[in-house]
Amino acid sequence: MLCQFDYQSPAQLLKNRIILVTGAGAGIGRVAAKTFAAQGATVILLGRTISKLEAVYDEILAQGSPEPAIYPLNLEGASWPDYQAMADRLYEEFGRLDGVLHNAGILGRISPVQSYNPELWQQVMQVNFNGPVMMQQAITALLAESEDASVIFTSSSVGRKGKAFWGAYAASKFAVEGFSQVLAQELENTTSIRVNTLNPGATRTQMRCDAYPAENPSTVRAPEEIMGTYLYLMGADSKGITGQMFNAQPDL
Active site residue 169: yes
Q: Cβ of 12: how many Cβ atoms within 10 Å?
A: 12
Question: Counting contacts by CB under 6 A, is residue 156 touching ligand NAP?
Answer: yes
Q: Could you give the C-alpha distances from 165 to 150, 178, 216, 245, in angstroms and in order? A: 33, 21, 21, 23
| Shorter beta-carbon distance to ligand NAP: residue 192 or 244 | 244
Q: Which residue is nearest to ligand NAP (CB)?
A: 27
Q: What angle do CA 111, 117, 122 make, to 5 degrees?
A: 110
CB of residue 171 vs ligand NAP: minimum separation in angstroms?
A: 12
Tell me, what amino acid is at 248?
Answer: A
CA distance 97 to 18: 5
Question: Counting contacts by CB under 6 A, is residue 27 touching ligand NAP?
Answer: yes
Closest by Cα among 124, 115, 225 to 173: 124
Secondary structure of residue 205 in the 3-state scheme = coil
Residue from 105, 167, 228, 235 in contact with ligand NAP (CB under 6 A) = 105
Q: Which of 57, 83, 169, 230 is catalytic?
A: 169
Question: Counting contacts by CB under 6 A, is residue 235 touching ligand NAP?
Answer: no
Question: Counting contacts by CB under 6 A, is residue 177 touching ligand NAP?
Answer: no
CA distance 3 to 233: 10
| Shorter beta-carbon distance to ligand NAP: residue 47 or 66 | 47
Secondary structure of residue 12 in the 3-state scheme = coil
CA distance 226 to 231: 10
Q: What angle do CA 43, 47, 53 make, to 5 degrees?
A: 65
Question: Counting contacts by CB under 6 A, is residue 29 touching ligand NAP?
Answer: yes
Question: Counting contacts by CB under 6 A, is residue 103 touching ligand NAP?
Answer: yes
CB of residue 54 vs ligand NAP: minimum separation in angstroms?
A: 12
CB of residue 220 vs ligand NAP: minimum separation in angstroms?
A: 7
Q: Are 37 and 45 in contact (CB under 8 A)?
A: no
Using the rule CB under 6 A, give the single segment among 4-12, 35-43, 139-147, 201-209 that binds ligand NAP: 201-209
Question: Counting contacts by CB under 6 A, is residue 127 touching ligand NAP?
Answer: yes
Question: Counting contacts by CB under 6 A, is residue 163 touching ligand NAP?
Answer: no
Kindly list the residues in this chain that would bind ligand NAP in the complex (CB under 6 A). 23, 25-29, 47-49, 52, 74-76, 103-106, 127, 154, 156, 199-200, 202-203, 205-208
Provide the annotated active-site residues.
Answer: 169
